Amino acid sequence: MKENESSSSTGFEVAPKPDTLVHSLRAFGYKLTTAIADIVDNSIAAGAKNVWIEFIWRGPESSVSIIDDGHGMNPEKLTEAMRLGTMSPLETRESRDLGRFGLGMKTASFSQCRRLVVASKTKEGEVSTRCWDLDVITEKASWYLLSRVPDGSLFASSKLCELESGTIVYWEKLDRVTADNNDDTKNNERDFFLLIEAVEKHLSMVFHRFIERGNLNIWINAGKIVPWNPFIETLDATQKLPEETISFRGERLRVMPFVLPHHSKLSGDEFEKASGINGWNGQQGFYLYRNRRLIIAGDWFGLFKKEEHYKLARIAIEIPNNLDFEWQIDIRKSKAMIPLEIRNEIRQIARKTRESAVRVYRFRGKSISRVKDSSESFVWNVHAKHGRKDYRINRHHPIVKELIDEPDSKRVQSVLRLIEESVPVQLMKSGISETEASDVPTYTVEELKELFHLFVKKLQQNGNISTREIENIWNIEPFCWYKNDGEIRGKIVNV
């Protein structure tokens, strides 16, 4: 019907072109890591306890499969699950549902491959198969869903035979994953399997709460994923600050601030693991969880810049799945924004956390075994009076105290006072930028050795020195900066 054929008509249907739309959907911006995470979301919603991810290299015919032991789908439910826009984002979801737009599985898959095969088995033993092939959609210019695996596909549903119920999501024609690796060569095979490491790190972070609580196991090519907890809560040195609760739209949001330990309190392996995918500086900020699933990992949401001195601050925020629109969570579950109504409350929590993180960052050591007063921990003390902060040299620090105990102590005290009154605090603040690596000064080995001898001499005044007391020296400023440097330690411990 033409637009002017009926005066009673107020509009007419204009359907999108399937072949054009489906290729546009491929440009949603998924990475391989976020695409696979979206498929795992569906497995969790289906009640899966185990997910097996398999990367199979066959050159141009390589494939990726995601298999779960969830409750599975009958033919009708599977067909509906393959529909684009399965469920309106306005509808109320089950509390454990990790989806929203009814597009996730399809758009995530289309972003990586041209053929998506899904096979599902219910507890009744019924196996159903459906397939979207972008070449078929283009050829027929319609949303033509295949009800069986097309000829030439290497898909096999044998894994379902081993499960009481479950689902397989199978990707082939991986034009986005193997775009530059279409030849079956050793180098291309190596590049293909390098993708596994990125996927493993992403999933271990995004689903760490499910894995830690024993609700989910994930394997990649038979290797079991170990969860990555951004707050390293198992360490005593991690500070868990008081939890805050924010009321918003009839819901109570949990905000849990953490300050991670100074690197001197971590072993080399602990320090490396805690740095995360983006490094210590990149991982600072908010961690937004939706139904225990990590959405945002390390972002200040425009409230602050990422700076070196705040890299120990990480804050968890938990929200339910009925606040997606308010938090502007996108289809890929990789972007969000703090609602304006609670922005100031969250800013205040973050500010306090950052202040605590700065104190830990600048506190590099602790007292040695024969020092009783805990104030003898670091070189500088901060005193707050009438809203003003003063920075004073710690007179109880072992080296400073050694100088003060000398006969000419009055002169030493005058010099210390001059230094304190001359600290260019404002100038230093204005010079701090997120590109600065660290404010740790560089000592020569000889300078460190001389300071080390002073500590040993002080301990020897009270008798023989134990191995433990020697080791404790490396927990005091400035030695703690070089605690994990075996080469430097080896050069100065020969006393």
Helix intervals (H) in 277-372: 279-282, 343-362
Q: What are the sequence ranges of the domains in the chain?
A: 18-224, 239-362, 380-434+444-492
Residue whose entry in the numeric block shows the structure tokens 């920075």: 391
Instruction: Work out the number of other CB atoms within 10 angstroms of the CB of residue 446.
Output: 10
Fold of 18-224: Heat Shock Protein 90 (3.30.565)
Fold of 239-362: Ribosomal Protein S5; domain 2 (3.30.230)
Strand order in the sheet with 50-56: 127-133, 115-121, 166-172, 63-68, 50-56, 217-220, 223-224
- Nearest Cα neighbor of 25 from 332, 328, 337, 294 is 332
pLDDT by residue for the chain (495 residues), tens digit each?
455 555 556 888 888 888 888 888 888 778 999 999 999 999 999 999 999 999 999 988 999 999 999 999 999 999 999 998 665 444 554 555 444 445 678 999 999 999 999 999 999 988 999 999 999 999 999 999 999 999 999 999 888 999 999 999 999 999 988 765 556 677 888 888 889 999 999 999 999 999 999 999 999 998 999 999 999 998 988 999 999 999 998 899 999 999 999 888 888 889 999 999 999 999 999 999 998 999 999 999 999 999 999 999 999 999 988 888 889 887 767 788 999 999 999 999 999 999 999 988 876 533 333 333 333 456 777 666 555 667 778 877 777 777 776 666 777 777 777 777 777 766 665 555 444 444 445 667 787 788 787 777 767 766 667 777 777 777 776 777 676 667 777 777 764
Return d(Cα 174, Cα 116) in angstroms, integer.
10
